[in-house]
Structure formats: structure tokens, C-alpha cells
Amino acid sequence: MEAVTLGGSRAQGTYRPDSDWDFALYYRGHFDPQTLRDVGWPGEVSEVGGWSKGVFNGGAWLEIDGRRADVHYRDLNIIDREIAESREGRFDIEPLMFHLAGLPSYLVLAELAVKQVLHGELPTPDYPVALRERAPRVWWGRAERTFDYARANHAPYGRLAQCAGLVAQATSYAAHAVLAARGRWVTNEKTLLSRAGLRRVDEFIAAARPDPGVMRDLVDRSRAVSSDAVREALATLERD
């Protein structure tokens, strides 16, 4: 084990009294989860690769002295790769439970940027210029295709749940685009729409009903708000 960090809202000073504690264990090449199980804290400890085959490859949900704690495994070999890739503007988007937009592989850099190191030494990466230039267009491309699909394939048939779900997903893509253009790291989706100024979409979804005209309006208004936010963020990037 090369380093241990505190992350999330506890590290950034934005936590609530009921917020859990987020820790990351940094290793290089090999980590045996049994060493964490042997500590004896109650909870669930996954194998490496148990959560995904990508950057978010495993961790644990534990109770430590009566406090809820999430523990994430982080392979420094993968982090070195992602730092190099991000400097070229390259990244992957990985599916992960509980995440509407998926997980950008540069999340591991975002965690390093907001961490508190409890043990060891770790880098604190800046937001690469190439990533600011490329990531917004990747995210917005996904948003546009998802808005299009919702309007063409769910709105005309009154399928409100599917249409609203895709609108929420597309807006989350757009929010990633906004924050990437601003060079702002994202570590999770909890405050994603608020940080991107896209919380108004809540009102559009809440007012929707299973009527084709209303649902087309839901898609169009959500797309317009998202497009304006992305355009403004890209203008900021060009000025920088």
C-alpha cells in the first residue's frame, strides 16, 4: 500500500452530518483485498475487478466505529496511464451502477485533485488543456444523440418514464460537457447538474405527463437549456 486518502465531501468540507466517509487505497500493480477484510470491520469487501474492469475496479462498503465508509481501490499504474492519456485529451466513459452518464476514466485524476493524503505521497494534477478542449465535444455529442432518441422514439408514443429517463441522462452528459469546458473536476454525479447550472430540468421533468406534445416539449426545453449552458462554457474556454 503506497498511499491512503480521504476524499469526497469530507475532504472538500462540503459534508452533511450524515455524509459517509470516502477513502481510497493506492497500490501499484497488486492489492489483496483480504488484507482489508482481516482488519475486521463489518461490511462488504469486493475483489479487485469486482466493480468493473476499468478505473473503478473495486472497493468496500464498511462500518467503522459506527460510521459508514466507502473504500475505493486505486492502481497507480492505471493512474499513470490516465494522466498521460488526459494530457492528449483522451479518456473512456465506463458504465457503472448508480451513474446516469457513466464514469469518465479521468475521475481518478479528479480524486487526486481534491484529496486529503492520510498516508504516503501522491500527485495533484492540473486539468489538462487538451482534455478541456476535447471532452466537452464528446459529452455533448452523447447528449445530442440521447435527446434525439428520446424525442423520436419515446415522446411520440407517450412513454413518459423512458423519455424522462433519457432526458435526465442527456442532461447529465451536458453537465459533464459544461464542467469539462470550465476545467472543473467531477468526482460523482450528486451535484453535477447544480454545478453546471442545469437544475431547471427538474422543473421540466416534474411538469411532464404522458402526452406526446408535452413530452416533445420536455425534450426540446431540456435540450435548449443544456445547449445554452454548453455554448457559454465553450465560449469561456475560447477566451481562456
What is the C-alpha to C-alpha distance for residues 137 and 82, in angstroms, rounded to an integer?
19
Is there a contact between 173 and 196 (Cβ–Cβ < 8 Å)?
Answer: no
Is there a contact between 208 and 214 (Cβ–Cβ < 8 Å)?
Answer: yes
Q: Are residues 134 and 159 in the same domain?
A: yes
Bridging pattern class, strands 21-27 and 67-75: parallel
pLDDT of residue 16: 86
pLDDT of residue 54: 86
Q: Is residue 69 part of a domain?
A: yes
Structural domain harbouring 136: 129-239
What is the C-alpha to C-alpha distance for residues 209 and 163, in angstroms, rounded to an integer?
10
What is the C-alpha to C-alpha distance for residues 202 and 206, in angstroms, rounded to an integer?
6
What does pTM read for this prediction?
0.93
pLDDT of residue 186: 93
What is the C-alpha to C-alpha distance for residues 136 and 47, in angstroms, rounded to an integer?
33
Q: Which of 119, 145, 163 delimits the end of a domain?
A: 119
* Phi, psi for residue 173 in degrees, rounded to 5: -60, -45
Q: Are residues 12 and 62 in the same domain?
A: yes
Residue 158 DSSP class: T
3-state SS assignment for residue 19: coil
Domain count, the chain: 2
Q: Is residue 66 part of a domain?
A: yes
Q: Are residues 95 and 133 in the same domain?
A: no
- In DSSP notation, 59-117 reads EEEEEETTEEEEEEEEEHHHHHHHHHHHHTT---EE--TT-SS-EETTHHHHHHHH-EE
Residues 6+ apart with CB under 8 A from 60: 33, 36, 43, 44, 45, 46, 69, 70, 71
Q: Are residues 203 and 110 in the same domain?
A: no
Q: Look up the CATH number of the domain holding residue 108.
A: 3.30.460
Q: Are residues 100 and 145 in the same domain?
A: no
Q: Are residues 114 and 11 in the same domain?
A: yes
Is there a contact between 184 and 195 (Cβ–Cβ < 8 Å)?
Answer: yes
Q: Are residues 18 and 106 in the same domain?
A: yes
Q: Is residue 124 part of a domain?
A: no
Q: Are residues 89 and 136 in the same domain?
A: no
Q: Is residue 104 part of a domain?
A: yes
Terminal alpha carbon distance of the chain: 39
What is the C-alpha to C-alpha distance for residues 202 and 200, in angstroms, rounded to an integer?
5
pLDDT of residue 158: 96
Q: Which of 119, 154, 185 delimits the end of a domain?
A: 119
- Indicate left, alpha or beta for 13 from its phi (over 0: left) and psi (-120 to 50: alpha): left
Q: Are residues 13 and 114 in the same domain?
A: yes
Q: What is the pLDDT along the chain (240 residues), one digit of tens a residue?
A: 899 999 988 888 888 888 899 999 999 989 999 999 999 999 999 999 998 888 989 999 999 999 999 999 999 999 999 999 999 999 999 998 889 999 999 999 999 999 999 999 999 999 999 999 999 999 999 999 999 999 999 999 999 999 999 999 999 999 999 999 999 999 989 999 999 999 999 999 999 999 999 999 999 999 999 999 999 999 988 887
Going edge to edge, which strands form the sheet with 43-45?
A: 43-45, 59-64, 67-75, 21-27, 3-7, 116-119
pLDDT of residue 116: 93
